[in-house]
Amino acid sequence: MLRARKTPNGVAARAILRSGNGHKYWSDFSQEKQDEIEKIAEEIHQLIFEPKLRNPIKTLDVPIVGNLSTSEKLEVILEFVNIVNGIEVDDQLGDDATGDKTVELLKSCRRVAQRINSNHPSSLGLHPIVYFYTNTGKPKIGSFYGVVTFILHLEKTKSFSKLSKFRKDFEWIIWQDDMVPQIVSKSSAVKARDKVKDFYLKIIDKLFQRIDKKNVIKEIVAEKYFGSLKSKTKDNTSEIQSKEFSRETKAAAYIREALPGSPRCKICGGYLPCRVNSIDHKKRKADGGLGTLDNAQLTHPYCNTTFKN
């Protein structure tokens, strides 16, 4: 893959892969452009791949995209660059002579990565465990492509507030019984991204129709819109004969204990990621609210800056 070395998406993907270091595929550009590319690429790399994932999981502070080999990582990054920028064929844009296009593509990638999980005011602060891992701590790359597509859709339709309104129940549902691995298993993770986005929208739709959160998945399964899906059957631990705990069981035990104790956003009720939060004035400054501990509450950056108002 990625034969074209001078295409803006190819250069952007390689810059993100190396966090702006290593062989400089962008060395023909002006110094100013080179610096800009390296800076943005490093930011994107941090937002998506850090902190490094340890196995078995012993912290909820995990990256959006878990451990991958270098070639897998490059593939994921290139897909990310292409999805965010609506590029359908790798060399569709031709070569980038000045670096302008590469910077433009990187900036949109940074915008989406910041939206997912950062301390930027636009950040939804999606908890990586809830959105991008199974309850045994396995990374779900299909959910990454799906969430990116979902975010682009909410951006286009200006409907982030719809998610915030139902976020607490939305997260309860995707964590209890996530259909994404099944939806993705029928094609490639990248190709399934629109279906995953539709699955998320469907959940919000059901919640909007006042369907009880416990029945949302049942209804979606019954509608067969996503083909035949199976609702979660109990973990078949009775089949395990070994006396040792597997990595998955260790991770699952940790997550089961740790996640319910995670702080939640006081505005939408969704989980707060480990390093992302915003301190909100319960009583607004404009209404005379003071900077006292009593008047402080933890929220997602987006909920504080935009949703509340």
Q: Footprint of Zn ion on this chain (CB under 5 A)? A: 265, 267-268, 270, 300, 303
146, 180 Cβ separation under 8 angstroms: yes
CB of 106 to Zn ion, least distance (A): 28
207, 216 Cβ separation under 8 angstroms: yes
CB nearer to Zn ion: pick between 96 and 171:
171
CB of 309 to Zn ion, least distance (A): 13
Element (H, E) at 279: strand 278-281
CB nearer to Zn ion: pick between 193 and 300:
300
CB of 197 to Zn ion, least distance (A): 20
CB of 265 to Zn ion, least distance (A): 3
Give the sign of the dihedral formed by CA 157, CA 183, CA 65, CA 236: positive
Q: How far apart are CA 257 and CA 14, in angstroms?
A: 38
**Residue 238 gets which letter from DSSP?**
G
CB of 303 to Zn ion, least distance (A): 3
Residue 299 DSSP SS3? strand
150, 195 Cβ separation under 8 angstroms: no
CB nearer to Zn ion: pick between 161 and 187:
161
CB nearer to Zn ion: pick between 83 and 265:
265
CB nearer to Zn ion: pick between 41 and 265:
265
β partners of residue 271: 264
CB of 198 to Zn ion, least distance (A): 23
CB nearer to Zn ion: pick between 197 and 300:
300
Q: How far apart are CA 158 and CA 84, in angstroms?
A: 16
CB of 113 to Zn ion, least distance (A): 18
CB nearer to Zn ion: pick between 78 and 267:
267
* Nearest by Cα to 125 from 15, 47, 182: 47
CB nearer to Zn ion: pick between 186 and 284:
284
The long-range contacts involving 275-280, CB below 8 angstroms and separated by at least 24 positions, are: 275/61, 275/119, 276/117, 276/118, 276/119, 276/123, 276/125, 276/300, 276/301, 277/119, 277/125, 277/301, 278/119, 278/121, 278/303, 278/304, 278/305, 279/304, 280/304, 280/308
Residue 6 DSSP SS3? coil
Q: How far apart are CA 96 and CA 9, in angstroms?
A: 9
CB of 83 to Zn ion, least distance (A): 25
